[in-house]
Amino acid sequence: MARPMPRPPPVTTAVRPRKSQARTSGAAACAASAIAAVPLGAGPLGATPLGAGLSEFRSSVIHPRCSLTSVIYALAYLNNVFKRGVAVGSTIEVRSIEAGDVEAAIALDQHNTGQSRRGFFHKRFASLAAHPERFVWLAAVEAGGVAGFVSAHVLDGEYGGRTSAAVIDAIATRHDLRGTGVGAALIGALEDELRRRGVAEIRSEADWTEQDMVAFFARAGFQLAPQLVLHRPCLATTEL
């Protein structure tokens, strides 16, 4: 029987504004009179504070230099926050995935990729339970819901090498939370757990056409590996 691996401690991070949201904070005073009637906590956020920068919107003074563009940016910011239902500045907890998270992770992956990988993820969860030393699967949770996840497996001495490496099999965040730091928090928590296990490096693959994914990995510190990935179809013997 495999010895259970100690569960990595959960870590928390604050959801930061997107770049486009940060740009609207400078236009806050310009939009103040238009949104002064909107109470903090209105909409799907309930009584939850709306987070960084929103308290500035309560000012009742319109800056004399404000422009229509600034007002539009600020109003769009509020509209985006209300529709998302997740507060900028709210807390995201990154922890080991639990059985109750798996279906939400499957749905999130299907929404992002356009295909269902239910069989893969159920097998991965079973493998994680049977061999916790070989796998890591972390979930980012906000208000009890899965906001993102990252799954990886550990290779020990691949191709006769002496060092271990981890390969990211899947990573996903909710589309409305991209650019807010959830993905970075997942990578950071994964790195902490792998470092604790003595893993030397993290690897992954991305299709060159997936520019958003390539850019995300670049921001996370990934670089092109010195090895080339070669592949060929398995042909029948008569075709060789």
CATH number at residue 125: 3.40.630.30
User: Sorting pLDDT into bands at 50, 70 and 90, what band is 51?
Assistant: very low
Are residues 53 and 94 part of one domain? no
| Cut 0.85: pTM above it | no
Q: Is the pLDDT of residue 21 over 60?
A: no
Are residues 138 and 74 part of one domain? no
pLDDT for the residue 156: 83
Please state the rounded mean pLDDT for residues 199-209.
Answer: 90
Domain count along the chain: 2
Are residues 37 and 133 part of one domain? no
Is 100 among the domain residues? yes
**Parent domain of 164:** 90-219
Is 65 among the domain residues? yes
User: Sorting pLDDT into bands at 50, 70 and 90, what band is 226?
Assistant: confident
Are residues 106 and 51 part of one domain? no
Which segments of 39-152 does DSSP mark as H helices, in order? 68-84, 102-113, 118-130
Nearest to 7 by CA among 123, 98, 82, 111: 98
Nearest to 58 by CA among 33, 83, 81, 77: 33
Are residues 76 and 94 part of one domain? no
Q: How many CA atoms lie within 13 A of 32 on its CB side?
A: 16
Percent residues over pLDDT 70 in the chain = 58
Residue matched to tokens 């504070």: 49
For 189-205, the DSSP string reads: HHHHHHHHTT--EEE--
Are residues 131 and 27 part of one domain? no
pLDDT for the residue 154: 95
pLDDT for the residue 152: 97
